[in-house]
Chains A and B, each alone.
Chain A
Amino acid sequence: MHPSLAPDSLASDARPMADTPVLSIRGLTTAFRTDDGWREVIRDISFDIHAGETVAVVGESGSGKSVTSLSAMRLLDPHLSRVSGEVLLNGRDLLRLSEAEMENVRGNDMSMIFQEPMTSLNPAYTVGRQIAEVLMRHKGLSRHDARAETIRMMERVRIPNAAGRFDQYAHEFSGGMRQRVMIAMALASRPKLLIADEPTTALDVTIQGQILDLIKELQAEEGTAVLFITHDMGVVAEIADRTVVMYRGDLIETGPTGKIFADAAEPYSRALLASVPRLGAMAGQVAPLRFPKVDMETGAVTAEPPLARSVDYTAAPILSVRNLVTRFDVRAGILNRPVGAVHAVEGVSFDLWAGETLAIVGESGCGKSTTGRSLMRLIEPRSGSVTLEGRDLLSLGGAQLRGMRRDVQMIFQDPFSSLNPRMTVGQAVAEPMVKHGMIGRGRAGRQRVAELLEQVGLPAAAIDRYPHEFSGGQRQRVAIARVLGLEPKVIVADEAVSALDVSIKAQVCNLLIDLQERLGIAFLFISHDMAVVERISHRIAVMYLGEIVEIGTREALFANPQHPYTKRLIAAVPVPDPARRRMRRDAGASELKSPVRALGYEPPARHWADLGGGHLVMQAE
């Protein structure tokens, strides 16, 4: 369906480079064995990477970008997959090598960093030993030399106190630090090619910036070629010299990153880029704005109508949270006595008005999800008050509590985990309404379920199907229909669009905005994605270590961030525009602080500066 493209070494490329590429992929085609025979998942992929160059492979889920790298590294199960074409690493075709020869190539000539730093290190060995092993195996260093070299590597990836941390285990490292260890391991043998498969996706945005800078710097020092696989166009803009766009197993387009971003030739590339929310695109806008509609076939962008409904801030807020505190005991010792507490939510207060979206942003562990769960009493808070239309939710007993659950509902992050796989879509959507006596199990109920499905943009025919038959975006729509049936006044959306592909993300956000406009629902939108938050929210609360450090209207907060953490958070977001690429020079190795406190710790009284218009900033001590 797409014209096969000439290998891009023929295309104009202004940068001077060595003549032979480090990696040259030619006509790579991979098929997987399925119940119905062999199915091609990537077709005829060709591109080159030169020394010192970074090539990003981008695409949505199912585009085959990871399969491309796994095929190149020969990491797919040979019984379940068939790889053809050529993968030339320094002129040697990897697909013709024996498995034993391949073992010498992997980790030596080419190495890989994976997405999940929490599971890609062996928990049974010390971190230093795992890096040293690569050096002993591939470089033939003695144990003593390997140790010295490992400590040097750990210092190079800027792990503080490297010599002291050599003998620590993976669980003693934070996510960002583990990813540094992975990079040290990958680069220990000075590979010609580094394959990075979504290396920053699981990391927080401020840590992501540090890791990207680190990869760039090490690459500049060593001249390593980098194949960078990602779905995040902001990261691409930040790091890639050239970009390869993939869609459903086909290579759509390849070219210099600047050209792809500014003037892509293929409609799909333009559509993909147009779907990406850009931080700063909302400057000067007061109300939230729907994402523009992007035609994925033509790449044409049509603006959606602006929001017709505005929030009435003179009315009483629908939900008021005051001094909410949630702590979890940390227990240790034989007697399992509490030795400290995680101060997950500490003195959180905010109001939410009908028809309004308040976003809670912050990095992992900042307590934003716990705040949402605490006010719904899915987790019992320690103290504070939560008032919904004058009723105190924290004092309700069992039956009343279940009744209240009608009014405050939740949408979860992972649409693959939030629906019971053994219930049809119809049952899942009907269940809450049946439970609260709003519909019966008969025809009328079924009619109502069909209506709800149509309201969230699903065909009524979906009613008798099971969740596994739907894509992630469709499942998220089912989850929305399920809570919508209860006619809730407040919906807590916990990272509700974070797991979705960019184009689907925009559609689901627009659906939430539509529903808010039509039904006046108030959203508590918990997210780490600043660009989405900027689009969808009226007001924003920034959380750090369990506390709200800054809260205000979206416009005020983005235009005039006051708290140092807010500034850092906004500055760390990668901008999907290669022309605005910034090299961060403060690439220190800061870690997120921990909210674990000693037993009996009480936070100091906080003071707030009022900047007007409801913009409050916590003052430094």
Chain B
Amino acid sequence: MSDTSAALPPRASSRVLRSLRHNPSAIAGAAIILPIVILALLAPVLPIPSPDATSWTAIRKAPSALHWLGTDELGRDILSRMIWGARASLLAGVVSIAIALVTGVPLGILAGYFGGWVDMVISRVTEALLALPFLIMAIALAAFLGPSLTNAMIAIGLSAMPVMIRLTRGQVMAVKAEDYVEGARAIGLNHLEIMSRYVFPNIVPPIIVQATLTIATAIIAEASLSFLGLGQQAPAPSWGAMLNTAKNFLTQAPTYALFPGVAIFLTVVGFNLLGDGLRDALDPREQ
């Protein structure tokens, strides 16, 4: 009856994991993404032909026992190029979002925490950037930086940054209103300590969700840039570049375009499902 009784409620630290395991959306997302990630990681050790090995005797072959998904216009194994291409797509997705997080979250925290003119400057610039469509901005930046996968990732990351700034700023403003932030000032902590130990840990969940969902967007962007020749450069494989080549042979070899297209579609759906599942699992209203 007393509030000091030693009977504390059971620990709930594994609540998010447990909730994820019961979330059909998260399970479906993970079921799609995990095999793709594992295949991409294992690409060097899998018993598949080199993605760059050309063969004049096997040009544009239909799927067969030897080449499960057929071959392309230079006789390269499409399955092998798909698996190696997954690396480019996933890498582009993860690295560009990492760039967006590393740049966007600190700026968002600064804007939300200090307010005033700091917020004014950061928010106005963010709004100006948000006025540009994401893909248009990524293409413009990539064209400016020069065609390569690295530059494509930087371009995509910077294009995704404004959304991160805005999300972070909003979250910080909500957390800032909590008494514990004022309490941290009252015990004499400085702004850096308050931002890193009181504000940041409390805004992580929605940022994880947004990041997961944005990975899907980044993968499409990378495919688009590679399709336009601004991303992964030949002969290295990438799904977008494969689609670009395949469009020339749509009438002769429709399956060629089908495989990278389906792969992009599945990965994007997978990350979206996972993001939705994470959002439900991390939602405080579900707790």
Which residues of A come within 8 Å of B, CB atoms? 35, 296-297, 373, 376, 378, 402-406, 409-410, 412-414, 417-423, 431-432, 435-436, 457-459, 461-462, 465-466, 468-474, 477, 479, 482-483, 486, 503-504, 507
Given the contacts A403-B188, A421-B202, A469-B9, A378 and B3 also touching, CB distance less than 8 Å: no
Q: Would you call B1 and A297 a contact (CB within 8 A)? A: yes
Complex A-B, nearest 10 residue pairs according to Cβ-Cβ distance, in ascending order: A473-B3, A405-B188, A422-B201, A432-B187, A402-B188, A296-B1, A418-B179, A412-B179, A417-B179, A457-B4
Q: Would you call A406 and B202 a contact (CB within 8 A)? A: no
Q: Would you call A419 and B9 a contact (CB within 8 A)? A: no
What residues of chain A lie closer than 8 Å to B11, measured between beta carbons? Answer: 465, 469
Minimum distance in angstroms from A533 CB to a CB of chain B: 21
B254 at the interface (CB under 8 A from A): no
What residues of chain A lie closer than 8 Å to B188, measured between beta carbons? Answer: 402-406, 432, 435-436
* Of listed B9, B18, B178, B190, residue having the most chain A CB within 10 A: B178
Q: Would you call B182 and A469 a contact (CB within 8 A)? A: no
22 contacts between A and B (CB under 8 A): A35-B18, A35-B19, A402-B189, A402-B190, A405-B186, A405-B188, A406-B188, A409-B187, A414-B179, A418-B180, A419-B180, A422-B201, A435-B187, A436-B188, A459-B4, A474-B3, A479-B183, A483-B186, A486-B187, A504-B3, A507-B2, A507-B3
Docked CA distance A466–B179 (Å) = 17
Number of interface residues of B (CB under 8 A): 31
B53 at the interface (CB under 8 A from A): no
B249 at the interface (CB under 8 A from A): no
What residues of chain A lie closer than 8 Å to B190, measured between beta carbons? Answer: 402
What residues of chain A lie closer than 8 Å to B182, measured between beta carbons? Answer: 373, 378, 410, 412
What residues of chain B lie closer than 8 Å to A474, measured between beta carbons? Answer: 3-4
Docked CA distance A482–B184 (Å) = 11
CB contact list, B1-27 vs A, under 8 A: 1-4, 6, 8-9, 11-13, 18-19, 22
Q: Would you call A469 and B186 a contact (CB within 8 A)? A: no
Q: Would you call A482 and B187 a contact (CB within 8 A)? A: yes
What residues of chain B lie closer than 8 Å to A473, measured between beta carbons? Answer: 3-4
Given the contacts A403-B188, A420-B197, A432-B188, A462 and B8 also touching, CB distance less than 8 Å: yes
Given the contacts A296-B1, A457-B4, A469-B8, A420 and B187 also touching, CB distance less than 8 Å: no
Docked CA distance A413–B187 (Å) = 16
What residues of chain B lie closer than 8 Å to A373, measured between beta carbons? Answer: 182
* Of listed B3, B18, B182, B197, residue having the most chain A CB within 10 A: B3
Docked CA distance A162–B183 (Å) = 44
Minimum distance in angstroms from A38 CB to a CB of chain B: 16
What residues of chain B lie closer than 8 Å to A402, measured between beta carbons? Answer: 188-190
> DSSP majority for the B interface?
loop
Docked CA distance A406–B187 (Å) = 6
Given the contacts A417-B180, A458-B4, A435 and B189 also touching, CB distance less than 8 Å: yes
B198 at the interface (CB under 8 A from A): yes
Docked CA distance A598–B221 (Å) = 56
- The digit string for B36-57, where 1 denotes a CB below 8 A from any CB of A, is 0000000000000000000000
Docked CA distance A418–B182 (Å) = 8
Q: Chain B residue with minimal CB distance to A465?
A: B8
Docked CA distance A35–B21 (Å) = 12
Q: Chain A residue with minimal CB distance to B182?
A: A378
Docked CA distance A621–B32 (Å) = 78
Docked CA distance A483–B179 (Å) = 14
Minimum distance in angstroms from A2 CB to a CB of chain B: 14
B185 at the interface (CB under 8 A from A): yes
Docked CA distance A92–B198 (Å) = 54
- The digit string for B156-191, where 1 denotes a CB below 8 A from any CB of A, is 000000000000000000000011101111111110
Q: Would you call A483 and B187 a contact (CB within 8 A)? A: yes
What residues of chain B lie closer than 8 Å to A459, measured between beta carbons? Answer: 4, 6, 8
Docked CA distance A431–B185 (Å) = 12
What residues of chain A lie closer than 8 Å to B202, measured between beta carbons? Answer: 420-422
Q: Would you call B6 and A461 a contact (CB within 8 A)? A: yes
Minimum distance in angstroms from B18 CB to a CB of chain A: 7
What residues of chain A lie closer than 8 Å to B9, measured between beta carbons? Answer: 469
- The digit string for B193-212, where 1 denotes a CB below 8 A from any CB of A, is 10001100110000000000
Minimum distance in angstroms from A258 CB to a CB of chain B: 26
Q: Chain B residue with minimal CB distance to A492?
A: B186
Docked CA distance A440–B6 (Å) = 28
Docked CA distance A432–B185 (Å) = 10
* Of listed B1, B4, B198, residue having the most chain A CB within 10 A: B4
Besides the known contacts A373-B182, A436-B188, A468-B287, 12 further A-B residue pairs in the complex with CB atoms under 8 A apart? A296-B1, A296-B2, A376-B186, A378-B186, A402-B188, A418-B183, A435-B187, A461-B6, A469-B11, A473-B3, A482-B187, A483-B187
Docked CA distance A503–B2 (Å) = 8
What residues of chain A lie closer than 8 Å to B187, measured between beta carbons? Answer: 405, 409, 431-432, 435, 482-483, 486
Q: Chain B residue with minimal CB distance to A415?
A: B179
What residues of chain B lie closer than 8 Å to A420, measured between beta carbons? Answer: 180, 184, 197-198, 201-202
Docked CA distance A143–B1 (Å) = 55
Q: Would you call B8 and A507 a contact (CB within 8 A)? A: no
Minimum distance in angstroms from B104 CB to a CB of chain A: 21
What residues of chain B lie closer than 8 Å to A482, measured between beta carbons? Answer: 183, 187
Q: Would you call A413 and B179 a contact (CB within 8 A)? A: yes
Docked CA distance A419–B185 (Å) = 13
Docked CA distance A458–B180 (Å) = 20
What residues of chain B lie closer than 8 Å to A432, measured between beta carbons? Answer: 187-188
What residues of chain B lie closer than 8 Å to A409, measured between beta carbons? Answer: 186-187
Docked CA distance A40–B223 (Å) = 53
Minimum distance in angstroms from A291 CB to a CB of chain B: 13
